Amino acid sequence: MLKINQLHKSYPIGDSSLHVLKGIDLEVKEAEMVAIMGSSGSGKSTLLNIIGMLDEADSGDYILDGLLIKDLTEKKAAVYRNKFLGFIFQSFNLINYKNALENVALPLYYQGMKRKERQEKAMFHLEKVGLADWAQHLPKELSGGQNQRVAIARALAANPKLLLADEPTGALDTKTSYEIMAFIQQLNDEGKTILMVTHEEDIANMCKRIVRLRDGVIMEDKKVEQVRAEQYV
């Protein structure tokens, strides 16, 4: 599904530059559920952003679904993001003046889908996250957990190959976090490949594999026994 070879990335800071990723090798297979862990500054978010084509690596190869992602034009990157990737952010990143249904339908709009079809599909995904009754509500009228579920529905709407989550539970309380995790696990059970950045051990342990980063290199990469989130809900 995803293969990364000797990935380097540095950010300029004043005159010097900060070497954030120092040669990352990573392979993720289909239907895996991987947690990327590390303290802040370890480069975990940068890695996720590069995988998500939100940022570009300085050197190294990144192959997604057999496609070399390199020197993309903005237009092409937009098409790939839309086609391959679904994003879940810590701060939800919903568009505040659009209601839940419209937010979920937005990636489909960028796919060029017809309005009616778009709304049906968006509704289907909202039902899936249990928010069908809240379709017409604006983000500010929903709770954090509900907003994150809308975001998940949006990430799923375009039927991406890979789901990327950046601290998806970072802004939620424990109970809601577990609810969201239960939901993400369910998606993984259905065969979605999921890559998630987190710094919480309990959340990481709900994945199937943990990759630990420190100072821009992979310290540890191990399979774990998945802790099911349902039991806490």
Partner 1 sequence: MFDLDLWREIFQSINMNRTRSLLSGFTVAFAILLFTILFGIANGLQNTFAEAFIDDATNSIFINSGKTTKAHKGLQAGRRIKFKNEDFDYVKEEFGNKVEFITARLYRNVQASYRNEQNGYNLRAVHPDHQFLEKTKIKEGRYINQNDVKNRTKVVVIGRLVEEDLFLKTTALGKYINLSGIQYKVVGIFTDDGGDNEERLIYMPISTAQHIYGNNDYIDQINLTYNPEMNYDQALSFGNLITRKMKDRFSVAKSDQRAIRVRNMAEGTKAVSQMTFGLSVIILVIGFGTLMAGIVGVSNIMIFIVKERTKEIGIRKALGASPRSIVSIILIESILITAIAGYVGLLLGVGVLELVGPSLKTYFIKDPGVSNSLVVGATLTLIIAGAIAGYLPAKKASKIKPIVALRND
Would you tell me which residues interact with partner 1 (CB under 8 A)? Answer: 49, 52, 54-56, 74-75, 78-79, 81-83, 87, 89, 91, 93-95, 97-98, 102, 106-107, 109-111, 115, 154, 158
101 or 210: CB nearest partner 1? 101
Question: Toward partner 1, which CB reaches closer, 93 or 186?
Answer: 93
Least distance (Å) from partner 1 to the CB of residue 179? 23
CB of 148 to partner 1, least distance (A): 14
- Per-residue DSSP letters for 37-104? E--TTSSHHHHHHHHTTSS--SEEEEEETTEE--S--HHHHHHHHHHHEEEE-TT----TTS-HHHHH
Euclidean distance between the first and final Cα of the chain, in Å? 31
Shortest approach of partner 1 to residue 117 CB, angstroms? Answer: 12
* Cα four-point dihedral sign 92, 97, 103, 107: negative
Identify which of residues 94 and 229 has a Cβ nearer to partner 1 in the complex. 94
CB of 45 to partner 1, least distance (A): 9
Parallel, antiparallel or unpaired: strands 2-13 and 193-197: unpaired
Q: Which is nearer to partner 1, 115 or 223 (CB)?
A: 115
